[in-house]
A and B are shown apart, each in its own frame.
Chain A
Amino acid sequence: GAGVSQSPSNKVTEKGKDVELRCDPISGHTALYWYRQSLGQGLEFLIYFQGNSAPDKSGLPSDRFSAERTGGSVSTLTIQRTQQEDSAVYLCASGYRDGAFYGYTFGSGTRLTVV
C-alpha cells in the first residue's frame, strides 16, 4: 500500500484480556519496528524485524508482550493479560534496507486503553 496501515485505530479492553494489534507495512519494506508512546512520554522501542534475521526483542517490557511477522510482511503485536500501564499509542514503522534506505514511515498508531 501507499503507507503503513495499523488496525484497529482505537482499542478499549478490560484488564486481564489479551489484545492483538496489526501492522501492514509498505509493500517491499524489509524492516519493521514497533514502538509505544505513552501520554507525555517519548517513543519506547519494543521490537525490530529486519528481513529474515531473528527479531530484536530487546525492548519488550515483559513476557506478556510478543510479536510476529508473517511472510516478511504483516506484523502482529500481542499483549497478554493486559494491565492498565499498557495503555498507550502503539506505533508501527517500516523501512527498506539492503542498499536502499530512505528512512522509516510510521503508521497512525493504535490507541490502546486498558480499563
Chain B
Amino acid sequence: AQSVTQLDSQVPVFEEAPVELRCNYSSSVSVYLFWYVQYPNQGLQLLLKYLSGSTLVESINGFEAEFNKSQTSFHLRKPSVHISDTAEYFCAVDSGNTPLVFGKGTRLSVIA
C-alpha cells in the first residue's frame, strides 16, 4: 500500500526566508503527486501537481516542487516566504489504482 510521510508537523520561518517542506512517499508503481494548501478556515486548494514530464513543477505564487523518483520525494520549496503563505500544506500521492493518500500535513507559520 502506498503512504505519504511529511516529516515536519510544524515549520516556523521568518518572512522573506526560504522554506522547504518535506514529503516522501512509498509506492511500487508510477504515481501522480500533489501539494494542497489549506489557509485558515478555508478548504483545500491545489497548489501544484506532478503528472508526467518535467520533474520540476511550479505554482503561480512562487512555490516549486521537484519529483525525485530515486529518493521517492516531492519536497516543496519557496525561496522567500510571505506572511500570506501561513497555512497547512498537504502532500498527496495517487497511483491510479488506489485512493488518493494524504500526508498528515505541515503547518507553515511565517513570522514577521
Contact = CB atoms under 8 A, between A and B. Distances in A.
Do A and B share a complex?
yes
Interface of A: 33, 35, 41-43, 45, 48, 56, 58-59, 91, 93, 101-109
A41 B104 contact: yes
Interface of B: 32, 34, 36, 42-46, 49, 51, 90, 99-105
Contacts, number: 48
Nearest to B45: A106
B99 A33 contact: yes
Nearest to B33: A103
B42 A103 contact: no
Contact of A33 (B43, B90, B100, B103): B100
21 contacts: A41-B104, A42-B90, A42-B102, A42-B104, A43-B102, A45-B99, A45-B100, A48-B99, A48-B100, A91-B43, A93-B44, A93-B100, A101-B32, A102-B51, A104-B34, A104-B46, A104-B100, A105-B46, A106-B36, A106-B43, A108-B43
A105 B105 CA distance: 18
Contacts of A33: 99-100
Contacts of B99: 33, 45, 48, 56, 58-59
